[in-house]
């Protein structure tokens, strides 16, 4: 076996390790794997292009916005130079997610639409459709969101991707809750919890638990809702995912308010506000301030 082939096999194994660590919530080790691959990009540009966007995603989830954009763009440039259309699309996906989180939905949408143009694989197309659906749902264009999520789920099924199926169920369940049907959302999100656990993606599992908790809270099942959301908060803390931690705290505050415990709600909101301010989360800051205003002065 040639030396170059051995090096390529080594990088492929390192990428697999990084993905496994990432999905298990061991982000420091995942980051180390991805960084090493990017430093050896000449050996296997295809593997390095994927490592760049996966590194960007780790940085995004830890609110390292500038680093995430720089890594995503490095991955897109490398992929483009080697005609790796799906890898370029994956890199655009991460940059789009950063802009969406920062409130620039127009820029995010343009990047996701470019993803669709580049995609050659069902799984790449599924990601783009899913995230366009997420933007539509945020803007309360529910029928469009439903169509996009359905198309995304079909593409994930075509790719036989269990993790993608879990993500589709999560998004569909969130949409059902936002459309005012928490009972239907509960059933869908319980399926998302099962699928995400089976996929081994702990952050997605935590996201499914969080959204299941929201649906349970809307159904008046407050104790179970709080248990699900608190479990999710713990996983997001381990993964250092600030945005999702803040979302958990917002929901715990909402549950406290429902129980007529304004001081408990205030503690959650003030802690969430501190995290959101440190990590520059404009949408979450606005939601926290609106909730604090409803609580009034202590």
**For residue 173, what pLDDT is reported?**
96
Please check whether residue 152 is in contact with residue 163, taking contact to mean a CB–CB distance below 8 angstroms: no
pLDDT digits (tens, 9 = 90+) for 211-253: 999 999 999 999 999 999 999 999 999 988 999 999 999 999 9
Q: How many domains does the structure of the chain reveal?
A: 1
Band of residue 4 on the pLDDT scale cut at 50, 70, 90: very low
Evaluate whether residue 108 is within a structural domain: no
255-274: per-residue pLDDT in tens?
Answer: 999 999 999 999 999 999 99
Q: Which range of residues forms the domain containing residue 250?
A: 241-298
pLDDT of residue 9: 57
Looking at the domain assignment, is residue 160 inside a domain? no
Decide if pLDDT at 22 tops 80: yes
Q: For 118-177, how does the pLDDT look when each residue is reduced to its tens digit (9 = 90+)?
A: 999 999 999 999 999 999 999 999 999 999 999 999 999 999 998 898 999 999 999 999
Q: What are phi and psi of 16, to 5 degrees?
A: -60, -40
* pLDDT tens-place string over residues 26-42: 999 999 999 999 999 99
Q: Does residue 268 lie within any of the structural domains?
A: yes
Query: Which has the closest alpha carbon to 192: 251, 243, 122, 177?
Result: 177
Output the pLDDT for position 25.
86
In a domain, 256, yes or no: yes
Residues in the chain, total: 298
pLDDT of residue 8: 54
274 occurs within a structural domain: yes
What's the pLDDT score for residue 296? 76
| Distance from C-alpha of 235 to C-alpha of 230, rounded to nearest angstrom | 9
Q: How far apart are CA 269 and CA 289, in angstroms?
A: 8
Give the single-character DSSP code of 160. T
Task: Answer yes or no: is pLDDT of 1 > 80.
Answer: no
241 contacts 249 by C-beta, under 8 angstroms = no
Question: Does some domain include residue 254?
Answer: yes
Q: What is the tens place of the pLDDT at every residue in 103-121?
A: 899 999 999 999 999 999 9
Residue 285 lies inside a defined structural domain of this protein: yes
> What mean pLDDT, rounded, does the chain reach?
93
């Amino acid at each position: 076996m040639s030396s170059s082939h051995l090096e390529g096999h080594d990088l492929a194994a390192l990428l697999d390790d990084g993905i496994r660590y990432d999905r298990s919530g061991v982000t420091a080790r995942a980051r180390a794997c991805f960084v090493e691959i990017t430093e050896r990009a000449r050996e296997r540009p295809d593997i390095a292009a994927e490592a760049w966007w996966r590194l960007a995603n780790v940085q995004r989830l830890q609110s390292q916005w500038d680093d995430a954009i720089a890594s995503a763009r490095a991955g897109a440039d490398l992929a483009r130079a080697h005609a790796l259309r799906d890898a370029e699309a994956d890199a655009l996906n991460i940059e789009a997610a950063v802009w969406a989180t920062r409130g620039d939905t127009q820029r995010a949408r343009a990047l996701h639409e470019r993803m669709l143009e580049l995609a050659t694989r069902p799984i790449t197309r599924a990601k783009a459709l899913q995230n366009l659906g997420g933007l539509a749902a945020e803007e309360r264009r529910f029928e469009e969101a439903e169509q996009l999520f359905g198309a995304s789920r079909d593409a994930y099924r075509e790719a036989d991707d269990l993790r993608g199926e879990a993500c589709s169920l999560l998004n569909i369940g969130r949409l059902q809750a936002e459309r005012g049907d928490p009972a239907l959302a509960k059933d869908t999100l319980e399926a998302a919890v099962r699928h995400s656990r089976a996929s081994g993606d702990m952050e997605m599992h935590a996201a499914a638990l969080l959204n299941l908790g929201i649906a349970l809270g809307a159904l008046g099942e407050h104790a179970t809702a709080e248990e699900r959301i608190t479990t999710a908060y713990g996983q997001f803390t381990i993964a250092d995912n600030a945005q999702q931690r803040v979302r958990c705290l917002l929901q715990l505050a909402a549950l406290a308010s429902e129980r007529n415990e304004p001081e408990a709600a205030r503690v959650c909101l003030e802690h969430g506000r501190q995290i959101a301010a440190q990590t520059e989360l404009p949408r979450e800051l606005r939601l926290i301030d609106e909730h604090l205003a409803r609580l009034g002065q202590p």
